[in-house]
């Protein structure tokens, strides 16, 4: 339905004498409004669902308790797996288990 509407707006001008500049301007602004509205809807509603957010993981087995960015490509993560806390390094190469954290030292 939307595609047919946009195709009607974008019809080639067959008789230039019949179309006024004002009508062409209105059609252009209407088409731009539709495109910008779709872009805003995509960014606002679909992008958050497509992006992966580590802190909102649905897993109950693995929890990310804290994250410290070291630089643009590396981070330190404190994770909890089955009640055991660990310090993990995250880089382009993947995850590296650094150490288990002592539960008494919290």
List the chain domain ranges: 2-50, 54-101
- What mean pLDDT comes out for the span 22-48? 90
Q: What are phi and psi of 49, to 5 degrees?
A: -75, -25
Mean pLDDT computed over every residue of the chain: 81
| 3 band by pLDDT with thresholds 50, 70 and 90 | low
Rounded Cα–Cα distance for residues 74 and 34 (Å):
40
The string of pLDDT tens digits covering residues 51-71 is 655 455 565 788 889 999 999
Residue 47: per-residue pLDDT: 75
Comparing CA positions, the residue from 106, 73, 59, 60 lying closest to residue 87 is 106
Helix %, strand %, coil % of the chain (to 5): 40, 30, 30
- What mean pLDDT comes out for the span 17-46? 88
Helix (H, G, I), strand (E, B) or coil at 106: coil
């Amino acid at each position: 339905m939307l595609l047919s509407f946009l195709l009607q707006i974008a019809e080639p001008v067959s008789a230039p004498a019949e179309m006024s500049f004002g009508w062409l301007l209105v059609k252009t602004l209407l088409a731009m409004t539709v495109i910008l509205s779709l872009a805003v809807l995509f960014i606002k509603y679909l992008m958050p669902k497509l992006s992966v957010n580590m802190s909102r993981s649905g897993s109950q087995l693995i929890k990310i308790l804290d994250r410290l960015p070291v630089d643009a490509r590396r981070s330190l993560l404190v994770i909890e797996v089955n009640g055991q806390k660990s310090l993990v390094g995250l880089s382009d190469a993947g995850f590296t288990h650094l150490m288990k954290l002592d539960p008494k030292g919290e």
